[in-house]
Structure 1
Amino acid sequence: MRGHKLLLLACLPWLTLPAWADAPFDSDSEVPRVLTPARLDQPISEVPASVTIIDRELIRVSGARELHEVLRLVPGMAVAKADGNVPTVSYHGTQARDTRRMLVLIDGRSVYQPGFARVSWNDLAVSLEDVERIEVTRGPASAAYGANAFTGVINIITRDPRDSVGQRVSVRAGNNGIRDARLGASHQFENGAFRVSVSSQHDDGYDAGITPLENGDAKRVDKLNSRTVFELSPRDTLTVHAGGSRSRLDRPPESGLQELADYYDDTHQVGERAFFGLDWQRQFSPRHQLKVSAYGQYTNEDNNL
């Protein structure tokens, strides 16, 4: 089965503050501020929804290896794996395999796949180290976001390059063939900054010793994520997002396939994804801003089952 999608979307202007502009706490009352529920910068005590904030420090101390794992910290969120290596995240366990009623955003870009009615968590082109914070709106948000936001919205906000500088290399190894590596760099120049990271995750899956998991749940995922900010003027900012991912998942064969013939190919799933986005922001006052966003996405998936 092959899936192919090319999406270009120009978002309507909306008033908010950029993710980097405010710390997650109000300086006067120490109340966390959020951006997602009403698309406005608000204290969490005033938003018209239940919101969970997972910040950078909480992600670090959680010990999570993959992005979907930190969502276990959200009340009511169900996180599981299908066939050993396909993560699925759903709110209150509804539609666990095909989460067509929960919207997932990365820097305002929807990663929901309408053709498959799902979010491919393995292929999200962002590593945990790139994430500044995650805001989860627990409850209906279709009034603000439209379709596919009936049960909630997960908004993943990546780190602004102006908040970091330097280079970092990390390597992780463990049982069941875990071999992870990441190279990240950020640099500030006269009128802006950029951040780029390249990461790879590889494991052999569960050591179950039973069929179909014994030889059918290994995976490898390579990711590229970048973000560049240009300060065009004291009031105007242009942000460029770009990246992509490539994944290969070993998949268990369909039941009864071995009985059809003595020879068959190894079953696997290969995915390729790329994205490019632009955000233009005009700051009118400390509390008001105009933001226009546009992005394009490419998805190609090949399943040999």
Structure 2
Amino acid sequence: MDLRRVGNSGLRVASVGLGTLTWGRDTDEHEAEEQLRAYLDAGGNLVDTSATYGDGRAEEVIGALLERSVDREEVLLCSKAGVRTDAAGARPDTSRGALLDSLDASLDRLGTDHLDLWLVQAPDGSTPLRETLSALRAAVVSGRTRYVGLSNFPAWQLARAATLLDADETFLTAAQMEYSLLQRGIERELVPAADACGVGILAWSPLGRGVLSGKYRRSVPADSRGASPHLRGFVEPYLTAHARSVVEAVSTAAEGLGRSPVEVALAWVRDAPGVASAVVGARTPAQLRGSLAASDLELPGQIRQVLDEVTEVEFGYPERR
């Protein structure tokens, strides 16, 4: 797979990234090692994780693999912070202290002295944006991360953050956002804002939370995320009549190309404007190999146009007049 610059930065990531949402919980260390080796052998370099994945267990698994079987220089590590879990449940906390404490804990679990990319996972309405950005700046200055970015932030906050960080020569590098044929909302404002600010997009859940694989066309498989107690709510929003129509369109395109729906859905996101990398997470090594098979697929223009039309996002005032 090819390497791409993330926005205007010098950071170069593989066009497909490896997500680790299920590592340490649904994916054991042996399966994780098999996934990581398959990914690296395919030319990948971006391993995406978070302090919240499995309450830190995903980072612990990565740290164990880096210690015994994978050279740290082979991978670009991206992790996220900014969500606190307590007795009341999960909530955003992007205060300076919480972010930097989380970063130090992530580095300890990963067994490394720095991240290649550190992201704030979600906006926090109770913390001033300037305070959040001060943590990003401190992380870069201290060498604990090479690049910084935001995840799941609206376009106006992304643009303001990029402006404020640019003034201090810290620079905002990446925006990690959900993006798939089932979720194209970032095209309204986020994609143009990221382009104008020189920020690259890392697309999470390019397979529509697994729904675009076609596995839910007739039922919810017992071994799927949709049947998982902790991920059922993550999948359910896309088990709708509209989603089924999109899945059918993707499946029809896949049949015509002699490829799988996973490959078609992933190729569509990977090559969309502004996307530096499409981050795929897999529960099993076999599922990951199915995604990696899309590395040589370039969608014909006519098929891309049909999929664009079937899933077209609605624009209106003020994006278009």
Q: TM above 0.5, one fold?
A: no
Q: TM-score normalised by the shorter chain: which range applies?
A: under 0.3
**TM-score calculated relative to the size of structure 1:** 0.27
- Bigger helix fraction: 2
Structure with max Cα Rg: 1
- Higher strand residue share: 1
